[in-house]
């Protein structure tokens, strides 16, 4: 089973949709939805306040994914970074 | 969520919430709305609490409302509620907070990047380990301070005084030995606790508090996560593991913070086997200080065993692969007050826990020697000790090692001073003793945290593994013709 949770305000869904893990360091995107077959992972992502509409900046990819969301920074592993799907990558600066 | 009320009037979730609120009659110390929100999100604890408090009819009705609400939406309710909460937070923040980001990266941010970039972060980690652990804990704590307390205080003043006093007080040598002999409560137990362990542990906890207070640990966690994944753990486990370099017993308790049982078992095993505590490390650093090559062999063997055993444990122990996520708080200058409070609390905990253990160990050793039980156990242990190429009298150090790991290491110290061990023997003894059974306190903590079966299984494994590894190293050193 695969959960695909769409957030409310999603415009232009076909533009530059990418998982966080595929971004380049320094790129930004807006969270479109969270995609994971694992409920615990979903819970963890939500606990970090990562929800549709939030802007995320990728700061580092190796050895872990580090990103900025709001005024906070988080580190996650690849599995979690794959589950965070962003849109409008590159469009916003 | 009050703010979303008007906007969401007529909304299914909102109506369900209000209906549950009016149904609730009990007092829960939190608002009815909070209770209703938790019930809708399927909180187990609160569900059983309301079922016990409310009438059966009400409970059934609430359950029905929750089920209907759940069925109404495609997404899990917890997710929807989080979204609404986020909207509300955004609304408040927008009205109240003005934020102007600077154009340049602040210094703390640049420092943070240096710490988390593997190219610069790895050398930095070694610098911290070198100055923090080797120089400060090993050199100053286990060297300068221990020498002062051990020689100037105990050997010159306390021990002769105690010997004289008890010679006058107790005419029977058997009971005199309990307090003042070679293994007496004061001359050995309290001496080891105060002169050897206290300075080492205090300096370690001081360094740990500084590192903890700066916010370095989460950065170390993200740096090391990939490696720790290979041994079935995540970056999160650096906290108990690094703490284990201070006190394995305390660290085993801290494994509670790991999210899955699998991670807790692996961390407990590694703490019992391949993570030397500060007291032990202090003595081992002291023992091998004269020979950097010997120290290198010890470190390489122990680290290799840490990784290999973790790797195989993660293959064998069932359970899901853990996932890693951690907030990276901003770097901060450590606060002196925090550091002293934390160090004081930890040293106090340690001392309260350790001192009775040392006294008990002294009494047990005294009893064991009096009854001949120790001679028997020492004789038994002499076989594996001989097997790994060590002189018979190191068996005593191993036996005492169980009462306190550092106690055993300290026993080796006496043997080295007497010139009874060659370089190779010293390394093999140090490796075996590092891996050997954790002290009584850590053993009890293993059983307490992991249960009898797992706790005991870990201890038996560690017992056999330590001597096998010692045997292996002594053979390899012999075959290669290495003399350290």
CATH class of B4-96: mainly alpha
Please, what is the angle between helix B44-53 and helix B56-72, to 10°?
150
pLDDT higher than 90, residue B301: yes
- Is the ipTM of this structure higher than 0.95? no
Identify the helix (H) or strand (E) that includes residue A18.
strand A18-19
Q: What is the residue extent of each domain of chain B? A: 4-96, 122-484
pLDDT at res. B4: 45
- Structure-model confidence comparison of residues B43 and B5, the more confident one: B43
Residue of B79, B82, B116 with shortest CB distance to A60: B116
What percent of chain B is modeled with pLDDT above 70? 96
Contact list, A71 vs chain B (CB under 8 Å): 99
Q: How confident is the model at residue B475 (pLDDT cuts 50, 70, 90)?
A: very high
Distance from C-alpha of A59 to C-alpha of A61, rounded to nearest angstrom: 7
3-class SS shares of chain A: helix, strand, coil, % to 5: 20, 40, 45
Q: How confident is the model at residue A84 (pLDDT cuts 50, 70, 90)?
A: very high
**Residue in chain A nearest B90 by alpha carbon:** A54
Do B205 and B343 meet the contact criterion of CB atoms below 8 Å apart? yes
Q: Is the peptide bond before A63 cis (omega within 30 degrees of 0)?
A: yes
Residue of A39, A59, A62 with shortest CB distance to B118: A62
Instruction: Say yes or no for a CB contact (<8 Å) between B324 and A75.
Output: yes
CA-based end-to-end distance of chain B: 69
Highest-confidence segment of B145-154, B161-170, B212-221 = B212-221
Contact list, A5 vs chain B (CB under 8 Å): 75-76, 79
**Residue in chain A nearest B41 by alpha carbon:** A43
Residue of A59, A63, A74 with shortest CB distance to B326: A74
Per-residue pLDDT tens for B312-358? 999 999 988 889 999 999 999 999 999 999 999 999 988 887 678 77
**Mean local confidence (pLDDT), B101-108:** 80
pLDDT higher than 60, residue B444: yes
Which of B8, B113, B261, B324 is the best mutation test for A, with the most CBs of A within 10 A? B324
pLDDT higher than 60, residue B410: yes
Instruction: Say yes or no for a CB contact (<8 Å) between A45 and B117.
Output: no
Instruction: Choose the weakest-confidence range: A89-93, B137-141, B474-478.
Output: A89-93
**Residue in chain B nearest A82 by alpha carbon:** B323
Mean pLDDT over each residue of chain B, to the nearest integer: 87
Name B336's Cβ contacts closer than 8 Å, sequence gap at least 6. none
Instruction: Choose the weakest-confidence range: A25-29, B110-114, B163-167.
Output: B163-167
Instruction: Say yes or no for a CB contact (<8 Å) between B325 and A74.
Output: yes
pLDDT at res. B419: 82
Instruction: Say yes or no for a CB contact (<8 Å) between B325 and A8.
Output: no
Per-residue pLDDT tens for B369-404? 788 888 888 888 899 889 898 888 888 888 877 765
Give the distance, in angstroms, between the CA of residue B278 and the centroid of all CA atoms in the same chain.
Answer: 11
User: Shortest Cα distance from B323 to chain A (angstroms)?
Assistant: 7
Do B423 and B298 meet the contact criterion of CB atoms below 8 Å apart? no
Distance from C-alpha of A61 to C-alpha of B393, rounded to nearest angstrom: 54
What percent of chain B is modeled with pLDDT above 90? 44
pLDDT higher than 70, residue A8: no
Per-residue pLDDT tens for A22-80? 999 999 999 998 888 887 888 889 889 898 888 999 999 999 999 999 889 999 999 99
Instruction: Say yes or no for a CB contact (<8 Å) between A72 and B116.
Output: no
pLDDT higher than 70, residue B85: yes
pLDDT higher than 90, residue B45: no
pLDDT at res. A5: 53
pLDDT at res. B9: 46
Q: Residue B405: which of B443, B378, B376 has the closest Cα?
A: B443
Distance from C-alpha of B430 to C-alpha of B432, rounded to nearest angstrom: 6
Total beta-carbon pairs less than 8 A apart between chain A and chain B: 82
pLDDT at res. B415: 82
Which of B259, B325, B329 is the best mutation test for A, with the most CBs of A within 10 A? B325
pLDDT higher than 70, residue A16: yes
**Residue in chain A nearest B89 by alpha carbon:** A49
For residue B101 the two structure tokens come to 């980001």
**Mean local confidence (pLDDT), B11-15:** 90
pLDDT at res. B406: 61
Q: How confident is the model at residue B267 (pLDDT cuts 50, 70, 90)?
A: very high
Q: Would you tell me which residues 22-81 of chain A have a C-beta closer than 8 angstroms to some C-beta of chain B?
A: 38-46, 48-49, 51-54, 59-60, 62-64, 66, 71-77, 79-80
pLDDT higher than 70, residue B53: yes
pLDDT at res. A1: 34
CATH architecture of the domain formed by A16-87: Roll (2.30)
Residue of B83, B113, B235 with shortest CB distance to A7: B83
Q: What is the residue extent of each domain of chain A? A: 16-87
Instruction: Say yes or no for a CB contact (<8 Å) between B226 and A63.
Output: yes
Contact list, A40 vs chain B (CB under 8 Å): 323
pLDDT at res. B98: 86
pLDDT at res. B405: 58
Q: Does residue A21 sit at the B interface (CB-CB below 8 Å)?
A: no
């Amino acid at each position: 089973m695969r959960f695909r949770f769409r957030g409310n305000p999603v415009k232009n869904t076909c533009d530059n949709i990418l998982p966080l893990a595929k971004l380049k360091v320094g790129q930004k995107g807006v969270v479109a939805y969270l995609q994971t077959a694992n409920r615990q992972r979903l819970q963890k992502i939500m606990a970090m306040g990562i929800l549709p509409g939030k802007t995320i900046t990728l700061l580092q990819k190796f050895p872990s994914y580090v990103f900025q969301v709001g005024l906070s920074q988080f580190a996650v592993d690849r599995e979690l970074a794959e589950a965070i799907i962003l849109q409008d990558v590159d469009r916003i600066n | 969520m009050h703010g979303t009320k008007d906007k969401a009037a007529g909304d299914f979730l909102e109506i369900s919430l209000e209906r549950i609120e009016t149904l609730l009659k009990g007092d829960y110390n939190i608002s009815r709305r909070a209770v209703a929100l938790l019930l809708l999100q399927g909180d187990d604890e609160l569900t059983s609490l309301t079922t016990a408090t409310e009438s059966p009819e009400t409970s059934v009705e609430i359950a029905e409302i929750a089920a209907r609400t759940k069925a109404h939406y495609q997404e899990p309710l917890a997710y929807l509620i989080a979204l609404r909460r986020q909207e509300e937070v955004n609304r408040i923040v927008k009205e109240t907070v003005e934020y102007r980001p600077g154009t340049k990266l602040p210094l703390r941010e640049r420092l943070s990047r240096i710490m988390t970039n593997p190219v610069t972060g790895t050398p930095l980690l070694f610098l911290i380990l070198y100055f923090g652990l080797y120089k400060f804990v090993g050199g100053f704590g286990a060297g300068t301070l221990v020498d002062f307390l051990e020689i100037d205080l105990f050997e010159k003043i306390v021990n002769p005084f105690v010997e004289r006093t008890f010679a006058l007080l107790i005419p029977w040598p058997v009971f005199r030995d309990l307090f003042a002999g070679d293994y007496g409560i004061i001359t050995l137990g309290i001496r080891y606790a105060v002169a050897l362990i206290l300075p080492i542990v205090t300096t370690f906890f001081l360094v740990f508090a500084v590192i903890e207070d700066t916010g370095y640990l989460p950065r170390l966690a993200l740096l090391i996560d990939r490696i720790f994944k290979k041994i079935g753990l995540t970056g999160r486990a650096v906290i108990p593991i690094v703490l284990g370099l201070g006190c394995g017993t305390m660290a085993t308790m801290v494994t509670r913070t790991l999210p899955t049982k699998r991670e807790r078992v692996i961390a407990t095993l590694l703490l019992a086997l391949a993570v030397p505590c500060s007291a032990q490390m202090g003595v081992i650093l002291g023992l091998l200080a004269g020979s950097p090559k010997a120290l290198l062999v010890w470190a390489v063997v122990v680290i290799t065993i840490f990784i290999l055993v973790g790797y195989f444990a993660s293959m064998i122990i069932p359970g899901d692969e853990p996932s890693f996520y951690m907030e990276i708080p901003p770097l901060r200058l450590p606060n002196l007050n925090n550091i002293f409070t934390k160090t004081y609390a930890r040293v106090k905990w340690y001392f309260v826990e350790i001192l009775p253990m040392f006294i008990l160990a002294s009494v047990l050793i005294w009893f064991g020697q009096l009854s001949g039980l120790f001679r028997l156990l020492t004789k038994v242990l002499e076989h594996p000790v001989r097997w790994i190429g060590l002189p018979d009298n190191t068996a005593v150090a191993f036996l005492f090692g169980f009462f306190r790991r550092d106690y055993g290491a300290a026993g080796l110290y006496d043997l080295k001073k007497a010139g009874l061990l060659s370089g190779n023997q010293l390394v093999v003894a140090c490796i075996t003793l590092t891996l050997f059974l954790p002290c009584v306190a850590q053993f009890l903590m293993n059983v307490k945290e992991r249960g009898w079966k797992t706790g005991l299984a870990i201890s038996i494994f560690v017992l056999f593994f330590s001597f096998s590894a010692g045997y292996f190293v002594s053979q390899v050193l012999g075959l290669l013709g290495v003399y350290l």
